[in-house]
């Protein structure tokens, strides 16, 4: 559970960007007609004004989007002295490449990144397991008590995450009935993540769109429910599985408060929790290179898989409609 599940997740899917295909279609349309018409483009004000705004905006977006990352890289390979005295000068004392291996070894960025990966992958597994099996029952098997469960799941969507923050923490300290203490185990992050209403409802909506005739045909061919699930429903749901996976991984990568509460053991903390903690005791140059390493992974992944990323997230937009 993040501190703001509804918002984060819905906003996450809201990134219903333009899927590649849609964008192409739109550009074709835009070539026919946008807000600004070809007649407008002849007018001098538009003719010179538009490129000017465009250049200014481009500079703005580059400074805001790339600037901090480049600065972080610059500072990651500078001496602390340089960072503090001239944050905008380029390496007056030379480039300090050794900062990066130093940060890796002394700040143990590697193991924190590893924890982040373990948390993200584990959350992904539990989330997919719970939301596919759950959606399968609610959408395909449709038992009599199905609508009750759907209603209860839907109801949690209305309640903001803040209401269950403290009781959820107490649940982790001592699981009712079993009495287990999940604090300082990865389960404390993996399991609450799986209880996300949004994922289940999105998955159910997608399963609902699978033609019933296919399911009936498989039943007539003698497929058991398990086989129906693994051989028909899951393979047909790859797009939505991709979307839910992406949103889950991004969500758990960004989460701060919850892992801070349930993983007090420094050896298990993900990078987002560890960085502020080590910030006070690490010299500024190593801090910067540690932060650079922490940013590197998601940024590189985003740039490489940009298309899949945008298409995948965009797909959830289509589902919501």
Binding residues for other proteins restricted to 126-155, rule: CB under 8 A: 126, 129-131, 133-134, 136-137, 141, 143, 149, 152-153
With respect to other proteins, which residue has the nearer C-beta, 96 or 201?
Answer: 201
Return the number of the residue (31 or 213) whose C-beta is nearest other proteins.
31
If one asks whether residue 56 binds other proteins (CB under 8 A), the answer comes out as: no
DSSP-assigned letters across all residues of 188-213: HHHHHHH--HHHHHHHHHHHHTS-HH
Give the span between the Cα atoms of 201 and 186, in whole angstroms.
25
Q: Does the protein bind other proteins through residue 47 (CB under 8 A)?
A: no
State in angstroms the smallest separation of the CB of 201 from other proteins.
12
308 binds other proteins (CB under 8 A): no
With CB under 8 A as the contact rule, the residue among 109, 243, 291, 315 that binds other proteins is 291
**Residue 111: CB minimum distance to other proteins, A:** 17
- Give exposure, 233-255, as e/b (b: 16+ Cβ within 10 Å): beebbeebbbbbbbbbbbbbbeb
Report the distance separating Cα 205 and Cα 197, nearest Å.
12
Instruction: Find the DSSP H helices in 137-224.
Output: 146-158, 162-173, 187-194, 197-208, 212-220
Q: Which of 173, 171, 189 is nearest to 181 (CA)?
A: 173
State the minimum distance, in angstroms, from the CB of residue 240 to other proteins. 16
Characterise 108 by phi-psi region: left (phi > 0), alpha (psi -120 to 50), beta (else).
Answer: left
Based on CB atoms, which residue is closest to other proteins, 176 or 235?
Answer: 176
By CB under 8 A, is residue 48 in contact with other proteins?
no
Q: Which pair of structure tokens corresponds to residue 301?
A: 């992944």
Closer residue to other proteins (CB): 100 or 130: 130
* Other CB atoms within 10 A of residue 1 CB: 18
Residue 111: CB atoms within 10 Å: 16
Q: Are 79 and 93 in contact, with CB atoms under 8 Å apart?
A: yes
Residues in 69-108 that interact with other proteins by CB under 8 A: 69, 71-72, 84-88
**What are the CA-CA distances from residue 117 to residues 7, 146, 272, 291 (Å)?**
24, 35, 12, 16
Instruction: Assess 125 for contact with other proteins (CB under 8 A).
Output: no
Q: How far apart are CA 245 and CA 202, in angstroms?
A: 12
Stretch that binds other proteins, among 68-76, 91-99, 205-213, 236-244 (CB under 8 A): 68-76
Query: What is the smallest separation between the CB atom of 7 and other proteins, expressed in angstroms?
Result: 4
Residues between 201 and 220 with contacts to other proteins, criterion CB under 8 A: none
Cα 111 to Cα 117: distance, rounded to the nearest angstrom? 10
Does 15 bind other proteins (CB under 8 A)? Our answer is: yes
- Rounded least distance, CB 98 to other proteins, Å: 21
Task: Identify which of residues 97 and 302 has a Cβ nearer to other proteins in the complex.
Answer: 302
CB atoms within 10 A of CB 227: 12
Contact criterion met (CB below 8 Å) for 128 and 252: no
Does residue 16 belong to the site contacting other proteins (CB under 8 A)? yes
Which of 21, 30, 92, 214 binds other proteins (CB under 8 A)? It is: 30
Question: Is 159 near other proteins (CB under 8 A)?
Answer: yes
By CB under 8 A, residue 162 contacts other proteins: yes
Task: Work out which of 77, 107, 109, 191 binds other proteins, going by CB under 8 A.
Answer: 191
Judged by CB under 8 A, the stretch of 49-57, 103-111, 117-125, 241-249 that binds other proteins is 49-57
On the CB side of 80, how many CA atoms lie within 13 Å of its CA? Answer: 6
From the list 42, 48, 151, 158, which residue makes contact with other proteins (rule: CB under 8 A)? Answer: 158
């Amino acid at each position: 559970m993040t501190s703001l599940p509804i918002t984060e997740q819905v906003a996450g899917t809201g990134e219903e960007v333009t899927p590649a295909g849609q964008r192409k279609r739109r550009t074709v349309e835009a070539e026919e007609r946008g807000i600004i018409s070809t007649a407008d483009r002849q007018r001098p004000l538009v003719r010179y004004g538009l490129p000017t705004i465009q250049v200014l905006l481009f500079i703005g977006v580059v400074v805001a989007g790339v600037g901090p990352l480049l600065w972080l890289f610059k500072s990651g390979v500078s001496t602390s002295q340089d960072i503090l005295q001239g944050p905008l000068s380029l390496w007056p004392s030379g480039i300090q490449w050794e900062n990066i291996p130093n940060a890796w070894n002394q700040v143990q960025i590697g193991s924190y990144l590893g924890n982040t990966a373990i948390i993200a992958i584990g959350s992904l597994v539990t989330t997919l397991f719970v939301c596919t099996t759950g959606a399968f029952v609610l959408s395909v098997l449709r038992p009599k008590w199905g609508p009750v469960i759907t209603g209860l799941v839907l109801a949690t969507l209305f309640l903001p995450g803040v209401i269950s923050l403290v009781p959820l923490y107490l649940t982790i300290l001592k699981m009712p009935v079993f009495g287990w203490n999940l604090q300082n185990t990865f389960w404390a992050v993996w399991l609450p993540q799986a209880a996300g209403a949004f994922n289940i409802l999105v998955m159910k909506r997608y399963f609902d769109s699978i033609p019933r005739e296919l399911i009936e045909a498989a039943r007539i061919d003698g497929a058991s429910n398990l086989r129906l699930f693994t051989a028909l429903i899951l393979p047909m749901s790859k797009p939505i599985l991709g979307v839910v996976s992406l949103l889950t991984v991004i969500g758990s990568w960004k989460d701060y408060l919850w892992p801070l509460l349930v993983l007090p053991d420094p050896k298990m903390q993900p990078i987002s929790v560890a960085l502020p903690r080590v910030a006070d005791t690490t010299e500024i140059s190593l801090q910067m290179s540690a932060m650079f390493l922490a940013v590197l992974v998601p940024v590189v992944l985003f740039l490489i898989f940009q298309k899949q990323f945008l298409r995948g997230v965009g797909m959830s937009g289509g589902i919501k409609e």
